[in-house]
Amino acid sequence: MSKVYNSFAKAVSDIRDGSTIIVGGFGLCGIPEKSIEALRESGVKDLTIASNNCGTDDQGLGILLANKQIKKMIASYVGENKIFEKQFLSGELEVELSPQGTLAERIRSGGAGIPGFYTATGVGTPIAEGKETKEFNGKTYLLEEGIVGDFALVKAWKADTLGNLVYRKTARNFNPLAAMAGKITIAEVEEIVEAGELKPEEIDTPGVYVQRVLLGTDYAKPIERLTVRKA
Amino acid sequence: MSKVYNSFAKAVSDIRDGSTIIVGGFGLCGIPEKSIEALRESGVKDLTIASNNCGTDDQGLGILLANKQIKKMIASYVGENKIFEKQFLSGELEVELSPQGTLAERIRSGGAGIPGFYTATGVGTPIAEGKETKEFNGKTYLLEEGIVGDFALVKAWKADTLGNLVYRKTARNFNPLAAMAGKITIAEVEEIVEAGELKPEEIDTPGVYVQRVLLGTDYAKPIERLTVRKA
Amino acid sequence: MDTRLTIVKRAVKEIQDGMNVNLGIGMPTLVANEIPADVNVLLQSENGLLGIGPYPVEGLEDADLINAGKETITTVPGSSFFDSAESFAMIRGGHIDLAILGGMEVSEKGDLANWMIPGKMVKGMGGAMDLVVGAKRVVVIMDHVSKHGESKVKKTCELPLTGLGVVDRLITDLAVFDFTDEGMVLVETSPGVTVEEVKEKTEAPFIISPDFIQS
Amino acid sequence: MDTRLTIVKRAVKEIQDGMNVNLGIGMPTLVANEIPADVNVLLQSENGLLGIGPYPVEGLEDADLINAGKETITTVPGSSFFDSAESFAMIRGGHIDLAILGGMEVSEKGDLANWMIPGKMVKGMGGAMDLVVGAKRVVVIMDHVSKHGESKVKKTCELPLTGLGVVDRLITDLAVFDFTDEGMVLVETSPGVTVEEVKEKTEAPFIISPDFIQS
């Protein structure tokens, strides 16, 4: 019952034109590099992608933008990408901006069977336009809807053969949420171990959320803003 | 800036009559034994308690019931308690039953600033009475509200002096959620270590949720149903 | 074979290799003992564990390691611990392949009542209401007829509901039914049980599956 | 002293021992460098870290350890990692004591605009909208007057809002204001700045605090 796949091409081969995909990562940290590359190779189009950011011009989800595979982007911040700007301004690309905390909760909710929840975030701002509001204890809240993906692409540090996942440092970010919200969740990792080698208390994402596990190699792990001090 | 208290009596001394308290634990597993005992000693009354269960006749929250300190109980299962039954039938005790998953999510929501969410759980059942419903994609869901406690009492395995908590096995259960939802969260543990001794990736409850930490000793840890096999 | 064992042995056939399964308290818990060794499943416990193992060896029980029935247990390789909100995210979010629960009444529309008898003390529904709406497949196991000789398979449930139209399959000591858009369908009878006997002891009307199996 | 440093040095006084603090991207990030050694605070990074440490020593940077500004960082003792939903549960649920954010415009009612200029490319709000409604105390730091000489402290914000009535305190290079039920209140002026100058450069009307401090 191993969930391990040997080919990224095969693991993404049933992602079709028009699919909705939730993608983990924050900026270029903890992004599923290899699955994104495989998606570019597959050439599927008209994708709706929910991810906090959309990569840079030549990294991360940016390579799917450059290849014109994305129809709609749901994100909280898309500022690092000139191709994004061009496609957005030309009307090629549809964009739904969602505040970061709302986006994280919408993805978790999708995975948790919660179709909608209320938040004070965005009340009185352009984000509230067209959304239902409701008062609780005299305060106004917005209704935000859960997001479910046909697929989710996540990057973890380690997996076991049952799909249990462990993340590394702040590369965790949106990945555990994306894993919950994919009908089919594809996890790529830097190391795969046998079931039982990860301690039950260290597992961040239980394997029940994960359908496919792949070993990635030669991760680029680009750093967007290198900030250091002298020794 | 240590959050460590030396006296349970002092740690619960500002819990007043009529307070709402969220209490961790599932059955008698992972319950904050010492804080509950201190509450009994304090004698505060008319408490509203949100907890999955209400202990047994002489264990856990049952000792507050026996002492007539609880006015209202919000729980999913209260079957192990004869005093509960008696007080409920006599009208002394108010009871709000909430399905276990709904209760867990209501407590998390309270802690997460979410005043309400929708769930399919309970639609068409007595639990739906008086609750708003809403359709998403043609399916009916109930509106359930978040729960915030004036206080939360939780039991963890280890803490550091900043209030970071680690739980043991299935004694985790409702404790991390209770910790999130208390305006003042009181955590009792079996071991307190210095900040930095718990690894950043092993912490289950970040100290930001915890205001007071206490070392408990001589935990009873009663087993409700001892089930074993021969060696 | 007593009726409990008949039901349990039939119920275990619902479990397929690779599934994540939640077994309810009581009779459903007994199903775990019957799972063949070559069928790999992870059993979920809604208090916060995926991967329940057998009962612990005497003397090695751990008060911090229990199942939803509050019994001491162990874990299997590949198990994971999590909090109760995560546990029900799994359940409500449709990530549990199969839930097997006990029942008091099941209606022809697949409504389930299994948590409350009016006039008696209300103990609470625990996680049952979440499980029946969340699990991908819901199988109810129960005696076909009550101790008082009444059919527990009803036109309409008389007891307060746990869930509305939530049962996929009902397994009793007499028969197996599926709940479909066409109505309640008899798919099997137990060894030595005739369709006539099932009809007689079933208040709800049902149709007979084209694939009906007479055991 | 340049105006940035004036603002940052005043902003750091908002930070008290024991606080959990979120510092926004840009000028607010600089506040971290000014926190006195005897003030213990944990800095939160909304991507999923409580307990940001200094920048790493050259060569020891880790691509898997960044802050919300995507800068390489380190951690302090007592830090914890978590996912982004947990991070915003903390923020939205009121567990972060203080958020210090940059601003484009602040209105006399404490409305904040800091994420979008119509006609220019929309980059997105990131976590700012969550922070302003969730943090227990919201302090905005910005220049008092724009490059074009216009007051950024407005009667009404002209730019699209980040949050409605969310600012507790505004710190500019000229003055410090609080937002109260009585309106916008001047509580301090910067060294060498008169109340007259503040009035002249502030579009919004304000009252002067009885505890007003002339630096």
Q: What percent of chain A has pLDDT over 70?
A: 100
Q: Which two tokens stand for residue A155?
A: 């990057």
The answer as to whether A121 is a domain residue is: no
- What is the mean pLDDT of the segment spanning A140-146? 98
DSSP code of residue D57: B
Q: Which two tokens stand for residue B17?
A: 């009559």
pLDDT confidence of residue D213: 83
What's the pLDDT tens digit per position in B130-181? 999 999 999 999 999 999 999 999 999 999 999 999 999 999 999 999 999 9
CA distance, residue B55 to nearest chain C CA (Å): 12
Q: How many domains does chain A have?
A: 1
- What is the mean pLDDT of the segment spanning A62-79? 96
Delimit the domains of chain C by residue range.
Answer: 3-214
The confidence band for A1, taking pLDDT boundaries of 50, 70 and 90, is low
Dihedral sign of CA atoms B8, B13, B16, B22 in order: negative
CA distance, residue C81 to nearest chain A CA (Å): 5
Of A202 and C2, the one with more pLDDT: A202
The answer as to whether B227 is a domain residue is: no
The answer as to whether B158 is a domain residue is: yes
Average pLDDT, chain A: 96
Q: How many CA atoms lie within 13 A of D141 on its CB side?
A: 26
Q: C78 vs A196: CB contact, 8 Å cut-off?
A: yes
A108 Cβ neighbours under 8 A, 6+ residues apart: A177, A180, A181, C89, D85
Give the CATH number for residue A199: 3.40.1080.10
Q: Burial level of B168, CB count in 10 A (0-12/13-18/19+)?
A: buried
- What is the mean pLDDT of the segment spanning B207-211? 98
D neighbour chains, 3+ CB pairs within 8 Å: A, B
Q: What percent of chain C has pLDDT over 90?
A: 94
Q: D127 vs A26: CB contact, 8 Å cut-off?
A: no
Please tell me which residue of chain D has the smallest CA distance to A126.
D160
Q: B200 vs D80: CB contact, 8 Å cut-off?
A: yes
pLDDT confidence of residue A85: 86
From the list D20, D77, D81, which residue is nearest B208 (CB)?
A: D20
Residue D4: CB atoms within 10 A of its CB come to 14
The answer as to whether B224 is a domain residue is: no
The answer as to whether B57 is a domain residue is: yes
Tell me the residue range of the domain where B54 lies: 4-115+145-215
Residue range D3-214 in CATH 3.40.1080.10: yes
What's the pLDDT tens digit per position in C162-174? 999 999 999 999 9
Dihedral sign of CA atoms A12, A14, A19, A21 in order: negative
Q: Is the ipTM of this complex over 0.90?
A: yes
A176 in contact with D, Cβ within 8 Å: yes
Contact residues on chain B for A141, CB-CB shorter than 8 A? 115-116
pLDDT confidence of residue A167: 98
**Which contiguous run of DSSP H or E holds residue D84?**
helix D84-92
Question: Given a cut of 70, is residue C1 above it in pLDDT?
Answer: no
Q: Of C169, C178, C165, C175, which Cα lies nearest the Cα of C199?
A: C175
pLDDT confidence of residue A202: 97
Q: What is the residue whose two structure tokens read 């978790």?
A: A108
Q: C134 vs A113: CB contact, 8 Å cut-off?
A: yes
- What is the mean pLDDT of the segment spanning B5-34? 98
pLDDT confidence of residue D115: 94
Question: How far apart are the C-alpha atoms of C187 and C195, rounded to whole Å?
Answer: 10
Contact residues on chain C for A161, CB-CB shorter than 8 A? 78
pLDDT confidence of residue C213: 83
> How much is the pTM?
0.98
Contact residues on chain D for A121, CB-CB shorter than 8 A? 92, 129-130, 133-134
CA distance, residue B134 to nearest chain A CA (Å): 10
Min mean pLDDT across A56-60, B126-130, C121-125 is at C121-125
D-contacting residues of B 5-34, CB under 8 Å?
none
3-state secondary structure of B42: helix
DSSP code of residue A192: E
Dihedral pair phi/psi, residue A136, rounded to 5°? -125, 125
Residue C46 designated active-site: yes
Question: How far apart are the C-alpha atoms of B82 and A5, rounded to whole Å?
Answer: 54
What's the pLDDT tens digit per position in A187-211? 999 999 999 999 999 999 999 999 9
Alpha helices in D12-78 (DSSP H): 27-30
Dihedral sign of CA atoms A208, A213, A219, A224 in order: negative
pLDDT confidence of residue D120: 82
- What is the mean pLDDT of the segment spanning A23-47? 98
* Angle subtended by helix axes C84-92 and B100-112, to nearest 10: 120
Q: B169 vs C81: CB contact, 8 Å cut-off?
A: yes
Contact residues on chain B for C91, CB-CB shorter than 8 A? 101
CA distance, residue A111 to nearest chain C CA (Å): 5
pLDDT in tens, chain D (215 residues): 588 999 999 999 999 999 999 999 999 999 999 999 999 999 999 999 999 999 999 999 999 999 999 999 999 999 999 999 999 999 999 999 999 999 999 999 999 999 999 888 789 999 999 999 999 999 999 999 999 999 999 999 999 999 999 999 999 999 999 999 999 999 999 999 999 999 999 999 999 999 998 87
Question: Which residues of D are designated catalytic?
Answer: 46
Question: Given a cut of 70, is residue B27 above it in pLDDT?
Answer: yes
Say what the alpha-carbon torsion angle A214, A215, A219, A225 is, to the nearest 10 degrees: 60
Provide the CA D2 distance to its chain's centre, in angstroms: 18
The answer as to whether A129 is a domain residue is: no
D105 Cβ neighbours under 8 A, 6+ residues apart: D112, D113, D114, D152, D153, D154, D157, D158, D159
Q: Of B166, C181, C81, B93, which Cα lies nearest the Cα of A203?
A: C81
